[in-house]
């Protein structure tokens, strides 16, 4: 069973994320996406995923591409979604590689 993080834990995580540590940026993004210990904000979550993705973190790229495909917390952008799916797959993210094998990935439906 997961526990809701305390305000002190969130503050520490935020500090590490602001220093540019991708794993903490992703963790903080997940907290915001789920509203776990912080107000739910898909926009804030996407911002943290993007920061991790820009640092070539494969999981960050995968989460950012998901937001782009779904238009959740950001404008729906299939081209950017595809770009980050490919980047994540190139770095060995199996979920991204499997996603690229699906025939509907390249459509806007």
* pLDDT mean across residues, the chain: 92
Sorted by sequence, the CB contacts under 8 Å of residue 41 that are 6+ apart come out as: 32, 35, 73
Per-residue pLDDT reduced to its tens digit, 27-68: 999 999 999 999 999 999 999 999 999 999 999 999 999 999
Cβ contact 105:86 at 8 Å: no
Instruction: Choose the CATH number for 7-106 among 3.20.20.70, 1.10.760.10, 1.25.40.10, 3.20.20.60.
Output: 1.25.40.10
Residue 106: pLDDT above 60?
no
């Amino acid at each position: 069973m997961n526990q809701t993080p305390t305000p002190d834990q969130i503050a520490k995580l935020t500090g590490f994320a602001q220093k540019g540590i991708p794993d903490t940026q992703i963790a903080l993004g997940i907290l915001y996406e789920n509203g776990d210990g912080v107000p739910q904000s898909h926009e804030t979550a996407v911002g943290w995923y993007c920061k991790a993705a820009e640092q070539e973190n494969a999981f960050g790229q995968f989460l950012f591409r998901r937001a782009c495909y779904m238009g959740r917390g950001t404008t729906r952008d299939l081209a950017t979604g595809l770009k980050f799916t490919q980047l994540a797959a190139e770095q060995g993210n199996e979920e991204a590689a499997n996603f690229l094998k699906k025939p509907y990935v390249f459509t806007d439906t």
